[in-house]
Amino acid sequence: MSTDTPNDTARAAGDSPAARLPGKAGTSGARKAPAPAANRGGRPAPRPAARTSRPGRATPRRVRLSLSRVDPWSVFKIAFLLSVAVAIAGVVMTGVLWTVLSGMGVFGNLNDLLRSMDRKGSSFNLMDYIGFGRVMSLSVVIGVIDIFLMTAIATLGAFLYNICSSLVGGLHLTLTDE
């Protein structure tokens, strides 16, 4: 069993204690100090931000960027999810609005008005046409159609944007970090 101390291991490798002290020149077998972390891998060291007269606040940087291409697949996915959310919100909104109008008695009053206008006294019932089931079914059908249309239009818009940006150079933005 070996009971080497760190100093014995370093001497065996050819280092002297003076070579391990900071600021001292070592012997021919001295180790080199590692490169600073910012310069490893060929990356330039980051520049410190310029300071204004107020301590602790950096001046905002301005960056000019151009949006030259939009991925149609990502636009398709986002448009689909957003259109599903809009369709669900539309169905819920329709149900709440119908319930509020029914609770206020609007449909009953409208039904009475339509019956009074008929001279023959027919058995017309407005709720046969605008009942809760029919209104919700129509709302779901409109929501499904909107899902397909909104997704298709957004994806087509991404393709058209890519064609136009290849001709013009894209949308130019100037961003600042304040």
Residue 115 has a pLDDT of 81
Task: Please report, for residues 21, 163, 166, 170, the alpha-carbon distance to residue 70 in angstroms, rounded to integers and kept in the order given.
Answer: 56, 10, 11, 10
- Global pTM exceeds 0.85: no
CB-CB contact of 31 with 14 (8 Å): no
Residue 10 has a pLDDT of 47
Residue 59 has a pLDDT of 83
Residue 29 has a pLDDT of 53
| CA–CA separation, 169 and 145 (whole Å) | 34
- The DSSP code sequence of 98-163 is HHHHHHTTHHHHHHHHHHHH-TT-----GGGTS-HHHHHHHHHHHHHHHHHHHHHHHHHHHHHHHH
Q: pLDDT 10s digit of each residue in the chain, 178 long?
A: 545 555 554 444 455 555 455 554 545 555 555 555 555 556 666 666 555 555 566 788 899 999 999 999 999 999 999 999 999 999 999 999 999 999 999 999 998 888 888 767 677 788 889 999 999 999 999 999 999 999 999 999 999 999 999 999 999 999 998 7
Residue 114 has a pLDDT of 83
Q: Return the ∠ at Cα 77 (arms to 76 and 81), rounded to 5°.
A: 115
| CA–CA separation, 63 and 138 (whole Å) | 49
Token look-up 């636009």 returns 75
Residue 26 has a pLDDT of 47
Sign of CA dihedral 70, 74, 75, 76: positive
Residue 3 has a pLDDT of 54
